[in-house]
Amino acid sequence: MKNEILLDAVRQYGSPLYVYNSNKIKSQFIKLTESFKNVKKLQINYAVKASSNISILKYLINMGAGIDAVSIQEVKLAIKAGVEPNKIIYTPNGVSLDEIEKVAKIGAKINIDNLAVLEEFGNKHKKIPVCIRINPHIMAGGNSKISVGHIDSKFGISIHQAPHIERIVENTGLIINGVHMHTGSDILDIDVFLNASEILFRIAEKFKNLDFIDFGSGFKVPYKPGDSETNIEELGRKLTKRFNTFCENYGKDLTLMFEPGKFLVSEAGKFLCKVNSIKQTTSTVFAQIDSGFNHLIRPMMYGANHFIENISNPNDIERYYSVVGYICETDTFANNRKISSISPGDILSFSNAGAYCFSMSSNYNSRYRPAEVLYIENELKIIRKREVFEDLIKNQVEINL
C-alpha cells in the first residue's frame, strides 16, 4: 500500500490503526499453493491465532483455505465465517477433554498432542478418527521463544514415545487419520524443515488409515528491506517430490496440509501510530507514540524487529530515535533506530503487523484497542470498530459497597 493510502486511513479512522492489504494476503496464498501445485491433494489451513478478524477469515476461506484452530472459540469463529467443519483442524494444547469432545461433536478434525488425553479419548470415542501431533525434537525457528519442536517443548508427543502411541491405538481401537508437526516460526533453512519431515514420514508409516499429513508451517517472512525469507519455491519442489514418493509407497494419495498464519498475513499488515511528542535526554531521543505493548507486544515479548517508517516525512534526513509507547511499563518498540526526521503529529508505520499483533492486544492501562481496516478492491473498509469506554466496562459487575 502506498503511503497516501495509509495516511488517508488515519484521516478516516484515527490512530492507532491496523490496516491490512488484501492483495498481499492473496498473493501469499497463491505463492504457497503454486509452489505445491504438483501435489495431488493440497490443503492450506489458515492459523486463526495469527489474526482472527472474521473478515480476514472470510477472505481466506473464499480463496479455498481451510482453518487451523487452537480453541473451540476459534472453531466457532471459523464456522461463522463460512467454512465447513470438516475443513477445520483443531490443534489445542493443554485443554480439557470436555472441550475436545465438544469440538468433535461440531465435526472438526481432532489433533491430540498428549498420550494421556489420547488414551482417554480413545477409550471413550474410538469411532472418531484423530490426528497425532508429533514433537520431532528439532530446534527450529528464529529463537528459543518461537521454537516449539525442541525436547523441552510442551507441544507434541515425543518421537521417542511412538511405541506408546502404537500401544494406545492397539488397546483402544482408535483410528489415526493424520500425523502432524509444527517445529517453530521463522524457519529459514529448508533443510531443517525437510529433516523434520523425514521424521514425520517415519511415524506416518506406522499407521495404515491416514488421510493426511500436516507439516505445520513457520515459514520466515522478511521483516525489513533486504531481509531473508524462506525459499518456498525450493521447499515446494523438494517436499513435493518426497511426499509423492511416500504416497506411492503408502499405496494411497494423502492430503498434504500446511497451517500458515504469519506467512499469509504478516506482510499484509501495517500498524499506524501518531507521534505524541519528542523527548530528548542526555543520551537518547525518544519518539513517544499513541500506543504501547497493549497494541503491539511482539517487540517486547519476542524481540521482534518491525521496520518503522515515518510516512508523514519519509524523505528527510535520518536520525536515531528510540520509539516508545505511552504505557506505564517498559514498552520500547525500537532502540536507536534510524528513521526519517520525526516531529509531533507525524504518523509512523510499523511493517509486518498482520500476524500476532492485534490478536495479542489488550486493554492494559485501560486503553482502548484500535480499529482494523481492510484495503480491498482499492477501497478502505472498516472491519473492527475502535473501542470506546463502554467496551471497557460492559462485562464488569458493579456492586453496592
CATH 3.20.20.10 in the chain: give the residue spans.
Answer: 23-264
Q: Which CATH number fits domain 269-386: 3.40.50.10260, 2.40.37.10, 3.40.50.720, 3.40.50.40?
A: 2.40.37.10
Could you tell me the pTM of the whole model? Answer: 0.94
Distance CA 194, CA 110 (A): 25
Query: What is the 8-class DSSP label of residue 321?
Result: E
Domain with CATH 2.40.37.10 in the chain: 269-386
Contacts of 259 (CB under 8 A, 6+ apart): 45, 46, 47, 68, 89, 91, 182, 214, 216, 217
Could you tell me which of 17, 6, 3 has the C-alpha nearest to residue 289? 17
What pLDDT, on the 0 to 100 scale, is given for residue 57? 98
- Residue 31: enclosing H or E segment and its boundaries? helix 22-35
Q: Are 108 and 128 in contact (CB under 8 A)?
A: no
C-alpha 362/C-alpha 71 separation (Å) is 18
Q: Residue written as cell 503511503? A: 3
Looking at 131, 247, 273, 328, which residue is catalytic?
Answer: 328
Q: 231 near 175, Cβ under 8 Å?
A: no
Active site (annotated) includes residue 247: no
Name the stretches of the chain with pLDDT < 50.
143-149
Distance, CA of 316 to CA of 313 (rounded, Å)? 6
CATH of 23-264 among 3.40.50.970, 3.20.20.10, 2.60.40.1250, 3.40.50.2300: 3.20.20.10
